[in-house]
Amino acid sequence: MAERILVLAEQLEGQLTDVTLELIGVARRLAAPRGSTVDALVLGEGVSALAATVPADRTLLMEHPALRLFNPEAAQRALEAVARETSPWLVLVPNTSLGMDVAAAVATRLGWPLVAYCQAIEERDGQLVATSQLFGGKILADCPVGTDHAVISVLAGAFSSEAAAPEPPARIERLAPPAELDGLRVRAVGLERPEAADVDITRAEKIVAVGRGIESKENLELAEELAEGLGAVVAASRPLVDAGWLPRSRQVGKSGLKVKPRLYLALGISGAPEHLEGMRDAELIIAVNTDPKAPIFDVAHYGVVADLFEVAEALQERLGG
């Protein structure tokens, strides 16, 4: 019996995240032919107004002080309790910083299989197949999913949010928090938002983005010059920011910023799923990489298999001249 699909809704400070709607959209698509209903679990404190906007068949609302800010232990206990109670055949969790703490832990505790990093869920020959993106996006793994309990953690941005019906939920059901929420070993202390940046890459029309292929901090100068010539700003993949070569405000991707410029020129970026999450919607993507199999070419409109320094220098010559 494939009765219920359970979606873990993600919210931060009363704001539903985009990925939640994407998950509900997928859940609806899978639910329709099976006659399943879609439950969305909203965790928080003082979030009943938000719960009323979640487009699921039924919104399960659990409120508790420990759920005010994200608390991985509280969220894990809550989802586990609800999954035991409602026995869904499928649980969808976002593969985000928050969802990652919960999906594997709950699946392990329940003994249910988990497919992580899911980027597609399709019907193939009468079988539901979840596709996981592995090895830095270079390999896809097709995993059959049965109807006797599974957990899938879904990559943000992999599905459209439009399939989530816009009408408000048929009903909101309040759930009592499990007793464990009063004896947690994890405490959420607070959130810190980033300081205002010198350059707002989310507003830039053109971006020259550099990755680890740039090799050294000194070589960033080349990117700066190119950006100047093109009227663009410089952004980067995460490792360059971790190394302190550029400020955090220039990072594109899952834990950085989401950008949608008219031009994204990617130099020496492999195109890991976490990077693609932040730039796949750019209007024009041109990628330069020495590796013809680099996943960045899967999202780029134009690709060049070449040494970025040769291309950048040739471009600089033309722009400077």
Partner 1 sequence: MTLAVILKQVPDVVEELAIDPSGTDLDRDSVSYVVNEFDEHALEEALLLREATGEDVVVVGVDTTGELDQALYTALAKGAQRAVKLVGDVEGSWLSTRALAGLLAPVIRELSPRLVLTGVQAPDDLDGQLAPTLGALLDWPHTGVVVGTELADGLVRVRKELWGGIMLDLELATPAVLGIQAARATPRYVPVGRVRQAMRESTIEEVEVETPVESAPKLSRLRAPEAAGRAEMLTGSPSDVVERILEILRARGLY
Interaction with ligand FAD in 181-240: which residues (CB under 6 A)?
Answer: 211-213, 237-239
Residues 280, 232: Cα–Cα separation, whole Å: 18
What's the closest the beta carbon of residue 267 comes to ligand FAD, in angstroms? 7
Residues 94, 22: Cα–Cα separation, whole Å: 9
Q: Which two tokens stand for residue 302?
A: 């134009």
Is residue 55 close enough to count as binding ligand FAD by CB under 6 A?
no
What's the closest the beta carbon of residue 180 comes to partner 1, in angstroms? 11
Residue 167 binding target from ligand FAD, partner 1, none, CB below 5 to 8 Å by type: none
CA separation, residue 135 to residues 157, 165, 270 (Å): 19, 34, 11
Residues 307, 288: Cα–Cα separation, whole Å: 7
Residues 61, 45: Cα–Cα separation, whole Å: 10
Residue closer to ligand FAD, measured from CB, 39 or 274: 274
Looking at 15, 108, 147, 160, which residue binds partner 1 (CB under 8 A)? 108
Length of the chain: 321
What's the closest the beta carbon of residue 40 comes to ligand FAD, in angstroms? 24
Residues 235, 212: Cα–Cα separation, whole Å: 12
Which residues ranging from 77 to 106 are in contact with partner 1 (CB under 8 A)?
A: 96-98, 100-106
Residue 94: exposure state from Cβ atoms within 10 A (0-12, 13-18, ≥19):
buried
**What is the total count of residues that contact partner 1 (CB under 8 A)?**
89
Residue closer to partner 1, measured from CB, 168 or 229: 229
Residue nearest to ligand FAD (CB): 253
Residue 186 binding target from partner 1, ligand FAD, none, CB below 5 to 8 Å by type: partner 1
Please give the backbone phi and psi of residue 56, each rounded to the nearest 5 degrees, phi first: -100, 170
Is residue 314 close enough to count as binding partner 1 by CB under 8 A?
yes
Residue closer to partner 1, measured from CB, 124 or 174: 124
